[in-house]
């Protein structure tokens, strides 16, 4: 698979990574053996970036990834996040500087690693200035516990404040044909600062694969609570998906591959992290890195995308940490 560099001097990773949250929560029944096999399939297919978080399954995801990557080669890069704390008393935000090293050490122990390749602030703690949190994260780099720093779901002002403290290799946010709002603010701000772009949910929480059914929507907490997957909004979006499927069929690829190829074509600084527990889907997603859309294809695709999708995305701020910690 082609390689891309995150940020001005960040890690070199596969053009498509693997988002691992679904191995532990959000998308139906958990099956550790299936998840481990899926990670191995991803490695065999050329994937080198694996994205997890301390909050995913309350630590389960990091322990699972440790098991799956036990015999992985030196090219594998692990990204994890802190700032969303999931425990017996529910979910809350905590990015206090004095707790950052503790959270990092706990993630290192669960991951079974000496160094975290890319350490993200999962969400900004409204009680703590982001510069103070990033200052504590920078101390981890100095201590040799972390190689590169990242941020998730920040606005341009927060990104600039963080970058003034320490270089930021990557910013993570939802971005797909289904949700393009970041193109108006976060994307240009990150590019001005030399920060890599890591879109999560690049397949529109599965909608852009053109394979969802009412059962799969109902089985997922993340989809069931998302306005884009209900009522008239879903009906409108499925019409859009039909147009996407028709173009994909003409090109001899799948709708999901077309959606990923569109994102990759947005620039060499884009590294999407689609998630899947199915080996076949992972292989399909990885193959999208080799697809090149010509000017005519991109123009036709842009017409489909510009036609509009219905429903606002599931908002972290509006719905709370328990429902949206991608």
Query: In this predicted model, what pLDDT tens digit does every residue of 104-134 receive, in sequence order?
Result: 999 999 999 999 999 999 999 999 999 999 9
Q: Decide if 32 contacts 64 (C-beta within 8 A).
A: yes
d(CA 189, CA 194): 9
Q: Decide if 118 contacts 87 (C-beta within 8 A).
A: no
Q: What are phi and psi of 98, to 5 degrees?
A: -70, -10
pLDDT at 248: 95
pLDDT at 230: 66
Which of 27, 18, 23 shows the shortest CA–CA distance to 223? 27
Task: Indicate if the pLDDT at residue 221 is higher than 90.
Answer: no
Q: Three-state SS for 79?
A: strand
pLDDT digits (tens, 9 = 90+) for 20-65: 998 998 666 788 999 999 999 999 999 999 999 999 999 999 999 9
pLDDT at 124: 97
Averaged confidence pLDDT in the chain: 89
Share of the chain above pLDDT 70, in %: 87
Q: Decide if 262 contacts 248 (C-beta within 8 A).
A: no
Task: Indicate if the pLDDT at residue 158 is higher than 50.
Answer: yes
| Sign of the alpha-carbon dihedral angle for 197, 198, 203, 205 | negative
pLDDT at 25: 80
Task: Indicate if the pLDDT at residue 225 is higher than 90.
Answer: no
Binned at pLDDT 50, 70 and 90, residue 318 comes out as very low
pLDDT at 277: 85
Cα separations (Å) of 273 from 39, 49, 142, 201?
13, 8, 28, 7
- 77-82 vs 116-121, strand pairing mode: parallel
Which of 116, 266, 297, 279 shows the shortest CA–CA distance to 198? 266
pLDDT digits (tens, 9 = 90+) for 173-220: 999 988 889 999 999 999 999 999 999 999 988 889 888 655 555 555
d(CA 247, CA 210): 12
pLDDT digits (tens, 9 = 90+) for 256-276: 999 999 999 999 999 999 998
Binned at pLDDT 50, 70 and 90, residue 316 comes out as very low
Q: Decide if 48 contacts 13 (C-beta within 8 A).
A: yes
Report domain extents, the chain: 3-206+257-291
d(CA 243, CA 265): 19
103 a catalytic residue: no
d(CA 313, CA 179): 7
Q: Decide if 16 contacts 289 (C-beta within 8 A).
A: yes
- 170-174 vs 146-152, strand pairing mode: parallel
d(CA 262, CA 318): 29
Q: What are phi and psi of 202, to 5 degrees?
A: -70, -10
In sequence order, what E strands does the chain have?
3-5, 12-14, 18-19, 49-51, 77-82, 84-87, 90-93, 116-121, 146-152, 170-174, 196-200
Q: Three-state SS for 148?
A: strand
Instruction: List, in order, residues 6 or more apart from 308 with CB less than 8 Å away.
Output: 240
Q: Which of 56, 103, 119, 120 does the annotation list as catalytic?
A: 56
Task: Indicate if the pLDDT at residue 320 is higher than 50.
Answer: no
pLDDT digits (tens, 9 = 90+) for 271-292: 999 998 889 999 999 999 999 9
Task: Indicate if the pLDDT at residue 325 is higher than 80.
Answer: no
Which residue in the block uniquely carries the two structure tokens 């200035």? 129
pLDDT at 223: 60
Across 145-164, average pLDDT? 98
155: buried, middle or exposed (CB in 10 Å: 19+, 13-18, 0-12)? Answer: middle
Cα separations (Å) of 291 from 6, 209, 271, 288, 296?
21, 16, 14, 5, 14
Identify the CATH number of the domain defined by range 3-206+257-291.
3.20.20.100
Which residue in the block uniquely carries the two structure tokens 């425990």? 87
pTM over 0.75: yes
Task: Classify residue 314 by its DSSP letter.
Answer: P
């Amino acid at each position: 698979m082609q390689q891309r560099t995150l940020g001005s001097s960040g890690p070199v990773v596969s053009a498509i990574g693997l988002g691992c949250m679904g191995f532990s929560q959000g998308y139906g029944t958990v099956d550790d053996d299936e998840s481990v096999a899926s990670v191995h399939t991803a490695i065999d297919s050329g994937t080198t970036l694996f994205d997890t978080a301390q909050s995913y399954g309350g630590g389960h995801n990091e322990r699972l990834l440790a098991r799956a990557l036990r015999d992985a080669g030196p090219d594998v890069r692990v990204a994890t996040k802190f700032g969303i704390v999931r425990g017996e008393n529910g979910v809350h935000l905590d990015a206090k500087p004095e707790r950052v090293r503790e959270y990092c050490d706990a993630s290192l122990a669960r991951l079974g690693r000496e160094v975290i390749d890319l350490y993200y602030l999962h969400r900004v703690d409204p009680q703590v200035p982001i510069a103070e949190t990033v200052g504590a994260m920078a101390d981890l780099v100095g201590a040799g516990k972390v190689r590169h720093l990242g941020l998730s779901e920040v606005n341009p002002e927060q990104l600039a404040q963080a970058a003034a403290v320490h270089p930021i290799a990557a910013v993570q946010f939802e971005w797909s044909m289904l949700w393009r709002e970041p193109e108006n603010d976060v994307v240009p701000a990150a590019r001005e600062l030399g920060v890599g772009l890591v879109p999560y949910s690049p397949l529109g929480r599965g909608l852009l694969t053109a394979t969802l059914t009412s059962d799969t929507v109902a089985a997922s907490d993340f989809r069931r609570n998302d306005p884009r997957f209900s009522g008239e909004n879903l009906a409108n979006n499925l019409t859009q998906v039909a147009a996407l499927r028709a173009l994909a069929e003409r090109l001899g690829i799948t709708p999901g591959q077309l959606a990923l190829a569109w994102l990759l074509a947005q620039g060499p600084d884009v590294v999407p992290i689609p998630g899947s527990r199915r080996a076949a889907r992972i292989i399909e997603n990885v193959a999208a890195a080799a697809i090149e859309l010509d000017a005519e294809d991109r123009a036709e695709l842009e017409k489909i995308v510009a036609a509009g999708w219905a429903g606002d995305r599931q908002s972290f701020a509006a719905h709370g940490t328990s429902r949206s910690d991608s």
